[in-house]
Amino acid sequence: MAIARFPIVAIDCPDPAALARFYGALLDWEVTLDDDDWASIRADYGDAIQFQKVDDYVAPDWPGQGRPQQMHLDVTVDDLDVAEPAVLELGATKAATQPGTSFRVFLDPVGHPFCLCLP
């Protein structure tokens, strides 16, 4: 029997509403804007991500370690070549370093790395 359940990941950022809209569009999850300091997205099946405002937020410097990535999300896509322009249109940036062939690394609008991965 598990001691706890894992319902939510919280991500630090300078603008919770904007980052929630980015990931909400990426995953097609419902966006909830709680207040200026918190926003969240939730899947129909219950998984959720929350976004917390950090006043002096400094983006990670991936792949460098001067400011480590802090966190990253891996999301599954059926076709990398189709998904790439879609996330770029949402405001992502393709990372200069691409260490694999079955996934691609991008930076969200505030610099957190995330990966589009083949199943």
Q: What percent of the chain has pLDDT over 90?
A: 73
Q: What percent of the chain has pLDDT over 70?
A: 96
Indicate the helix (H) or strand (E) that contains 20: helix 16-27
Q: What are phi and psi of 25, to 5 degrees?
A: -70, -40
pLDDT at 65: 86
Sequence-distant (≥ 6) Cβ neighbours of residue 69 within 8 angstroms: 60, 62, 63, 112, 113
Ordered structural domains, the chain, with CATH = 7-56 (3.30.720.120), 58-119 (3.10.180.10)
- pLDDT tens for 49-103 read 999 999 999 999 888 888 887 778 889 999 999 999 999 999 999 999 999 999 9
- Say what the pTM is: 0.83
Average model confidence (pLDDT) across the chain: 91
